[in-house]
Structure 1
Amino acid sequence: MSSVVRRRPDFLGELARRFGPLLSYRPEITVERLALLASVFFAVFCNSAFFRAVAATGALKGAGGLLTGVALLVMIAALNMTLLCVLLNRWTAKPLLTVLLLTTAAASHFMSRYTIYLDADMLRNILHTDGKESGELLSWGVLPPMLWLGVLPSLMVWRVRLKRRPITRAMLVRVACIALAVLVAGGAALSSFQNLSALMRNHREVRHLITPGNYVVSLARVALHDGADHGPRMPVGANAKVVGRVAGQKPRLLVLVVGETVRAQNWGLNGYERQTTPQLRGIGPINFSHVTSCGSATEVSVPCMFSPYGRAHYDKDRIKHSESLLHVLEHAGIHTLWRDNQTGCKGVCDGLAFESFEHAKQPQVCDAEGCLDEVMLDGLESQIARQPGDMVVVLHQLGNHGPSYYKRYPSRLRRFTPTCDTAELGDCSREQIVNAYDNAVMYTDDFLARTIRFLSERTDRDTALIYLSDHGESLGENGLYLHGVPYAIAPDTQTHVPMVMWLSPGFAADRDVDVDCMKRGSDAPVSQDNLFHSVLGLMQVSTPEYDARLDLFGRCTGS
């Protein structure tokens, strides 16, 4: 009897026979064709945030809107082609495209998720953000777009072989491709010129949503602008001096708290439906309910609020290259100290006393990811004791820095529940996001109350406190999250901020400030432009840069 021998199927061999030719396939193409494929890929798959923003303007409605959409798609692809033809050659094409694909995948995700506009100011914020803050944005939600829009296309790029050409012919072809891409972009623009010109005239900010051009151009602008001049700052108030003080008076101590990402709409003292400032309500400080910020991001607002120019005469270069309010105080003989639980003083305290708590080790309020703001009160007494004269201390909060609002307050202040306990805001309901945010506001209330109690217990100095948030925050209104929207279109939630002032009885009496008068006028519109002049007025500093019209204490001060 014969026997039948059954063979086990060679599974791996079968896969190799079926897919081997495909896996070994390595097409040979020109750099220009690779640039064209990448340009179309970027335009079609990586610009959803841009097209949603354009659709929200009504520009894509009707038959004319369809033509506008097609024209925009073609124009973006042609402009991408122009950019890539300038950047790529046979040696740089693969590594540069890999960087662009991975970066564009991340940019596309965050723009779609949070409606982030990648202009030059936003690039500065990103570049100046420390690892702990940027790490909060890296969650599992970023993996799918990084895989499909970044990793897999990059692998395909590395599979192709790039054709060689004689140098002369390669240059001629490249010039021709650039010229053709420019012509196609121009033709697409002309095909729907009226609608496109109206769109760019009335909604110019949408250009900052076009990837990868938005961050490439913005990065180049930041590199050229920020690296152009590192010289000394222009003096401001070099001849400043304290006037009107009588010998033998107590020295003064002003604590200036620079808040982070607290918006006026959720500030209990402003009439918010929730009492997020219960301790301050009990203290009864001067509360300014209509305060406008200078910018919608820290990189703009902090240097601006400490400058004499402000938003009314805003000049980024002039502010960047000039001394700040703190330098003026130092010129007048008032010692300053910047204590920081953030990413630095943004140039405001250059050359002056500075302390960072980024790597503080107090276990009660710190962990591996950072510290709660109350860490800045640690050791403050000894720092003050070293300076016998007038002193201004700045406490720069971490505050409500997002998206991890749930990390900005201790568990004892988790009053509003349920909370969003992740940095992936898209995974939370708006109620959860607002609850976590409001708990963080309550911690700012707690921190300010602690600081005021510390100041009120001092008998050796007349003391005062000013709190002013740098900018606000969007919590999902109209699809917007976080902050940093270009100032011209930034919503009130990002530019309307809280400000409070508190003076000890001794300070108010010595400076002849009528606190009740201040409270009666605290509903009038003011801005961060008032800070520079109000601090100088309160500390009785005389300098040509001081403008009495912007001094909030001026109308309620006897001298």
Structure 2
Amino acid sequence: MVGLAILTTILLLADDFLQQLYTANNRAELELSYVFVLWVISLCLWLCGRPWFVNLILALFAFMQLLQISHISYIGDPLTAIDISKLFSERHEIGVAINSTFKDHWPALLAWGIPYAFLFGVYNWGIRHFRIQRSWIPLIIVVLILGSKPNRAITRDMLAFMPGAARSSLHNSINVFSYYAVRMMGRDKTVEGPDYAPYTISRTEPVDPPENIWILMPDSVRSDRLGIGGYHRDTTPHLSALWARGELQAAQGIAASVATGSSLPLFMNVIAEPGNFQALEDRTANMFRLAQEAGYKTFWISTQESKMMNGIGSRYIDVHITEEDNPIDLNMKGDKAVLDWLKTQTWGERNFVVINLRSTHSPYEEAYAAEDEDFARWPDGAEVDYDTRMSNAYDNAVVYLDEILASSIEFLSDNFDGDHLWLFTSDHGQELGEDKLWGHNRLTANVAGVPIVMHQKHDDDSAIRYRLPDAQFISHYEIGQWLLGTMGYELDNPNQQQSVHYFQGEKLHEDNLYMRVVENENSLVFCRPTLVSRHARNEACRPDFTMQALPWGDIRLVDSDRTAIEGKKVLIR
């Protein structure tokens, strides 16, 4: 039985690898933990000894995978729950597309059909040939494993069920079909997006575009906890040294959203408005796509799961490395493993690189767990109370991150000719005990405040060639628009309002909460939250809180005696 289970597990995974023979759209990789679970399912299907149940499960998988493999072939990305809803609501348009493009995508039927024909044949022949004794226990195990996904969908939002480009397509299918079945099947759309004018992109051909554009986007970095941002502890000694030499520019950033899974698609697609679903789908301003068209080789290097690639334009990424590719390396070295990965890449003449790190994500002490015992500058053990321990661990994690950031600048400066732009921001900030709040996923000032820090290099040591937008506050949308400009593109957004930004909740594809953010002299006014379904562009702002600009580079105090942190609110007035 063990051998037969291995054979059928291979067949369940085979459609991905057969599809990869004819298209690069399928980027699935093996996940050992998922392969083991799939082997358990395969083994239980053998041991249950009931052909009707086996055929039912295989038919379910085959149906999901027919849609999934076809979608990957035609669209280039895995199915989402929203895509599934369109399969039924837009049948005519999809039928026309299939009819006109079948000659280009018919190999998808072979990639899907060959393994499932063998699966049906092997199981039905094997169960009868070996006279396997029937048992209810394996059947129940399969039901419990597969049923755990729909059960989880009852309490989790869509972001938790978004597909990962590097995951097995069957794994993605089980996730998205489970969410669709529980939360969307038989229901109308949860929200109609506001009526926005479409974005347009024009080529401007810059005089001297940088040869390398690197974007460092660690998770959960709060700008007011950086020494370079005026924090009372020197949590960024390396960046502060670069600042002292005049090598950095910085501004207070405004995060696009409260969560990684929503902030990354908004940032990489350069989208400002809440509920602009059309811009998300069209990828009009997608930075990876436009970088490729401008001649850059594109990289996504992340120490997080591949599902973080959902919505960022994974089909336009030439090289992607995620947590699943190097789990042992990450466990041994932490996020510093990225520095080794950089040394092994085959770079292009021009490179557009996005590096997504987990260093400052909870649990914070895990970031520097692989470092020496005396790495922590501030106590993070049982000798201090919980709030102090957590806050100190976060600051220690920022020190760890600072080393990686500085090392990436050094690597970029030492190994590449030509000009480079190095930009550091974060997907969102973090609550660290203020008002008894921890974590993110909420519309607060500490979650909205992220850094915008830039380093640049010129071969001829000339004067500063690239300057951040001349503003105290720069939103994710604005810095994305500026980055497109450095590559030679002009983004025209008819919906843009001067001095108005948006800070959005995590339910990007649903009736999402958001805040309108209005610039007011040296502060930002965050209007009270509202829903996308109630969006009104010119509605009067009812202030909820304000955010102050930070004194970048003004390191007022270095906490050298490693005492417990003193509470200090920088952002909220």
Give TM-score scaled by structure 1 length: 0.50
Question: Which has the higher Rg, Structure 1 or Structure 2?
Answer: 1
